[in-house]
Amino acid sequence: MDHPKSDSSGLSRRDFIRLGSAVGIGTALAGAALSSCAKEITTQPGAAKVGPIDNVRLGIVGVGNMGSAHFQNFLRIEGVEIVAVCDLVEDKVKRMQEWATKAGKPAPKGYYQGETDFKRMCAEEDLDLVFAATPWNWHVPVMVEAMKNGSHAATEVPAAPTIEACWEMVETAEKYNKHCVMMENVCYMEPEMMIYNMVQQGVFGELLHGEGAYSHDMRNNLLGSAYEGDWWTHEVIARNGNLYPTHGLGPIAQCMNISRGDRFDYLVSMSSNARGLHEYANEHLGPDHEFSKTKFNCGDINISMLRTVQGKTIYLVQDTNLPRPYSRINLVQGTKGITQGFRDATHANLVHVEGLSQSHSWEPLMNYANTYKHPLISQMEDLADGAGHGGADFIEDYRLIYCLRNGLPTDMDVYEAADWSVVSNLTEMSVANRSQTIDFPDFTRGQWKTRKPLGIIHV
């Protein structure tokens, strides 16, 4: 059963029944038409506009590394009920069911009959939200199926691997008036949120430049069966570009109000040779191993440069196949100052603000925490303590549920999911064509000019 449960108005059957029982079928259809018209005149064009959901009924697809972490978070969040869980591996589903019962919650219904069983889950269950934590190529199919069946959708990063998938995600969210959110946890980390607060308050003046990266030695993960079926490894075998751009790019894009007053215009990209994984496989797995004989297509280092319509520049790096300490760079520079993220363990985050910092000198970013620590971090740091990635995973999950329960716009919407994710496919195109300039699609179709920037969020 993979056909959508909706009528021609784009109103899901479940929403239609709910509205009809409350106010009458005729009024329900009139309301759907008014909602469609309102999309054109709202102060936040294109964003899903839906009422509050008192108890969020959740289905999770994919409960491996990150999916199981989110599952644990949702067990702790008030106002969310995990109704269903889907995975290729039956034992993983049963483990989630055991976790739920140990937490004093009902065991979610399990779905594990093949890679498209999420379609059956979306069709059979009465879900408000479907969360995808699958390999990248399944993110959009899961979310599209969810939205067609009347549910909001959320996904791990990146949201979509191709331009076509990005457009499908955007157009489906618009057609069915559903939230479609990419869960970029780095945007909820303490330094990134503090920097965003400082940017919003004008500490760095007019922003002109940013630098971001995902620099992380992943050789053991990629060649050590950390991912079911080695799916990420096969992405590195088949593709060449920045395949994982959103950790480094997302916080900078928020600071620059991308899709909310500015947008990405074009990029150029180039990749180094691919050597690291081949050498690592030979040394650690032996010369006869499959991966020792495999040609890895993705360059060990990918460097991309992006320019926005308003003239801001961004330097973006992917570096995952060589020995190196972790870094995201996280540099933001404006007419009044500059901040950069950790390059070593001693000086984690640095800042220089004209008129406040000593001339030509860095100082610790946290010197400014008393004034600019983000209120969401202050509100949630105790509750999020112990959760993954310094509590950021819990905060992003909590904020998503908070927004749904209160009928608020989500912090990141489908346009940001598309704008940040499409970078991977565009870098592939540029690399394949000798670093040719590649234009960005405008997924907002011009609405970026009037969409409001994200505010200083809280709970």
Res. 430: pLDDT tops 80? yes
Mean pLDDT, rounded, of the chain: 90
Q: Which residues is 327 bridged to in the sheet?
A: 215
- Once rounded to an integer, what is the mean pLDDT over residues 426-455? 98
Does the bond joining 409 to the residue before it have cis omega, within 30 degrees of 0? no
- Residue 153 corresponds to which amino acid? A
DSSP assignment, residue 128?
S
Distance CA 394, CA 73 (A): 6
Q: Which pairs count as long-range contacts for 368-371, CB under 8 Å and 24+ apart, including other chains?
A: 368/194, 368/198, 368/203, 369/194
Tokens of 442: 């405008």
**300 SS3 class:** coil
Q: Please count the other Cβ atoms lying within 10 Å of the Cβ belonging to residue 377.
A: 23
Distance CA 64, CA 112 (A): 13
pLDDT band at 256 (very low <50, low <70, confident <90, very high): very high
pLDDT band at 346 (very low <50, low <70, confident <90, very high): low
Sequence-separated (6 or more) residues with CB below 8 Å from residue 178: 48, 50, 146, 147, 151, 152, 153, 172
Whether residue 48 contacts residue 173, with contact meaning beta carbons closer than 8 Å, is answered with: yes
* Residue of 448, 238, 156, 212 lying closest to 341 (CA atoms): 212
What digits encode the pLDDT tens for the residues 304-327? Answer: 999 999 999 999 999 999 999 999
Tokens of 365: 């970013």
Whether residue 7 contacts residue 15, with contact meaning beta carbons closer than 8 Å, is answered with: no
- Once rounded to an integer, what is the mean pLDDT over residues 189-215? 97
Whether residue 305 contacts residue 200, with contact meaning beta carbons closer than 8 Å, is answered with: no
pLDDT band at 344 (very low <50, low <70, confident <90, very high): low
Residue extents of the structural domains in the chain? 1-38, 187-374+412-449
pLDDT band at 12 (very low <50, low <70, confident <90, very high): very low
- Please state at what angle helix 392-406 crosses helix 375-384, rounded to 10 degrees: 110
Whether residue 338 contacts residue 332, with contact meaning beta carbons closer than 8 Å, is answered with: yes
63, 243, 276, 298 from 295: Cα distances, Å: 30, 17, 11, 9
Per-residue pLDDT at 17: 31
Per-residue pLDDT at 140: 98
For the chain, give the number of residues. Answer: 459
Distance CA 357, CA 337 (A): 9
Res. 119: pLDDT tops 70? yes
* Residue of 210, 183, 182 lying closest to 196 (CA atoms): 210
Distance CA 136, CA 158 (A): 7
Distance CA 133, CA 145 (A): 15
Distance CA 338, CA 350 (A): 8
What digits encode the pLDDT tens for the residues 29-50? Answer: 323 332 333 333 233 566 787 8
pLDDT band at 343 (very low <50, low <70, confident <90, very high): low
Q: Which residues is 130 bridged to in the sheet?
A: 59, 153
Sequence-separated (6 or more) residues with CB below 8 Å from residue 17: none
Q: Which residues is 82 bridged to in the sheet?
A: 58
Distance CA 153, CA 145 (A): 9
State the sign of the Cα–Cα–Cα–Cα dihedral 185, 189, 192, 197. Answer: positive
pTM of the model: 0.90
Distance CA 246, CA 230 (A): 21
CATH number of 187-374+412-449: 3.30.360.10
